[in-house]
Amino acid sequence: MKRSMYKMISSLAVMFVMILTVVNVNAAESQYTLPVQGQVNGEIIKGNEKQTYELELTEAGRITIDLNSSIDSNGNFQFKDSQNNYIFQTYIEGDSKNPGRAVYVRDLEKGTYRLTVSNDDTGGALGKYFIKTTFKAAATDDVEPNNGTAEAQKLTFGKKTRGYLSTQDTVDVYGIQLTKAGTLTMDLSSYVDGYTMIQLIDEYNTQFYGTYIRGTSKNPVKFFQHVNLEPGQYYLRVYEDSSTDDTGVYEVKATFVSALNTEVEPNNGTVEAKAFPFYKTQTGFLSWNDQIDVYKISIPKTSKVGIDMTSYVKDHAAVTLFDANNNKLMDQYVYGSAKMPGRYKEFITLKRGTYYLSVRDDYGTDDTGKYKLKVTSTHLLPALSVNKVTARSTKVSGKTEKGATVTMTIGKKSYKRTADEKGNYSFSISKQKVGTSIKISSKNKYGSSVKTVKVSK
């Protein structure tokens, strides 16, 4: 009795499984798994005219979906993400004798996706198909979310960062913090298929550089740009700006070189101008966000003023000297570059008063870079007098600044003395012929004053 009951229950269980199997096969829609790498074969038949495949990506990357359809008339293929957004949709015409084919390459974030295969809704489109998938992980360093300045990923100088633009994430933003003025260099290689948009902005969302480059995953394109900037917070924005699915991997490396400028900001006008130290070379810097430097020059008495500038500014820098009434006394362009610096040297006699020297990017055309500037003035050089020397003289004497180093040169021989507390100096000499030249120079910390006398009768 027990054995016959066991047989009856087993038979009922088998029949129930068979019924379930038949229901699944004849259902209007069936669900399967689509491998990340591999191939599945399917067939649209009556009673099973819509089949869905679930694809699970555990990491971001590029997937290639190769569709081959022998479904009579049109096979309808729809690929969507977990939010039911279309990744692509296509109709493939074909039949058993002439199968149709379509290949789709998409850069996707990790997540769950669904590929639905159906007929063209006429009810009569039946046939076989196969789907082949290949996948390559993006292996990126970008940390999501980094789609705006508020969530920008920090860009570390000297380190290559591998970023990724995908169908669902078409923008990456990186933060760049500069603690000093200097040159920021962006080195970017794009493997994006199509256009890669590049934008550099400041903390006020003001763009100071923007461009696009075009390449492919097999023929990457290079982008290299120098930008001169003041200290501050900046952002690099890499994005896809069209509906053509220009996506893929890119690599970016930022480097920074300090300008080592010694100017004191702000110094953008006469009100802010700081006194320029005479006989001391100063390094200035014109940048994208600071295109003018103004220095004050105070002259206590009529003097010969020298302006000596070496310019590493790209293309040209404008140098202007003007008085307290804003009258231009000198105006000059100095052409050069970081690799081939330009030089400008000029002397001008100025009366007692206050003057201003400006160095600027004249047209806002990003003529930026560093420069070295030296201003000299004869009012700081030691005063020098030399007493008359005759053919009977046995000494050369005179007066200069106290403590100055005095050098006497006769022919090829030179002799040195230090002026006393009253500025007096004296050299013993043998009697010289009439017409002999004797050169006297007096040197202090700013420079030298030189006079030449000739021996008289």
Count Cβ atoms below 10 Å from residue 201 Cβ, excluding itself: 18
The CATH number of the structural domain formed by 274-380 is 2.60.120.380
Span 212-233, average pLDDT: 96
Q: Looking at the structure, give the CATH architecture of the domain made up of residues 26-137.
A: Sandwich (2.60)
Given this chain, do its domains 26-137 and 384-454 carry the same CATH topology?
A: no
pLDDT over threshold 90, residue 168: yes
Tens of pLDDT, residue by residue over 365-389, are: 789 999 999 999 999 999 999 999 9
Q: How confident is the model at residue 121 (pLDDT cuts 50, 70, 90)?
A: low
- What are the residue ranges spanned by the domains of the chain? 26-137, 149-258, 274-380, 384-454
Return the SS3 of 133: strand
pLDDT over threshold 50, residue 337: yes
Residue 242: its pLDDT value, please? 75
State how far the Cα of 420 lies from the Cα of 401, in Å rounded to an integer.
9
pTM listed for this prediction: 0.84
Residue 38: its pLDDT value, please? 98
> What average pLDDT does the structure give for the chain?
92
Q: What are phi and psi of 10, to 5 degrees?
A: -65, -40
340: which residues sit within 8 A by CB, 6+ positions away?
A: none
Asked if 199 contacts 268 with a C-beta cutoff of 8 angstroms, the reply is no
Residue 365: its pLDDT value, please? 74
CATH of 149-258, one of 1.10.260.40, 1.20.120.1200, 2.60.120.380, 1.10.1740.10: 2.60.120.380
Cα radius of gyration rounded to whole Å, the chain:
41
pLDDT over threshold 70, residue 214: yes
Count Cβ atoms below 10 Å from residue 402 Cβ, excluding itself: 14
Residue 318: its pLDDT value, please? 97
pLDDT over threshold 60, residue 28: no
State how far the Cα of 354 lies from the Cα of 376, in Å rounded to an integer.
15
Tens of pLDDT, residue by residue over 57-67, are: 999 999 999 99
State how far the Cα of 63 lies from the Cα of 53, in Å rounded to an integer.
15
Residue 413: its pLDDT value, please? 96
Q: What are phi and psi of 285, to 5 degrees?
A: -150, 125
For tokens 């050089």, the residue is 381
pLDDT over 70, % of the chain: 92
Q: Where are the beta strands (DSSP E) in 100-170?
A: 100-108, 111-118, 127-137, 153-154, 161-165
Return the SS3 of 156: coil
Tens of pLDDT, residue by residue over 3-23, are: 444 444 444 443 333 333 333
Residue 120: its pLDDT value, please? 67
State how far the Cα of 268 lies from the Cα of 291, in Å rounded to an integer.
8
Strand partners, 251: 162, 189
Specify the pairing of strand 171-178 against strand 153-154. parallel
Q: Looking at the structure, give the CATH architecture of the domain made up of residues 384-454.
A: Sandwich (2.60)
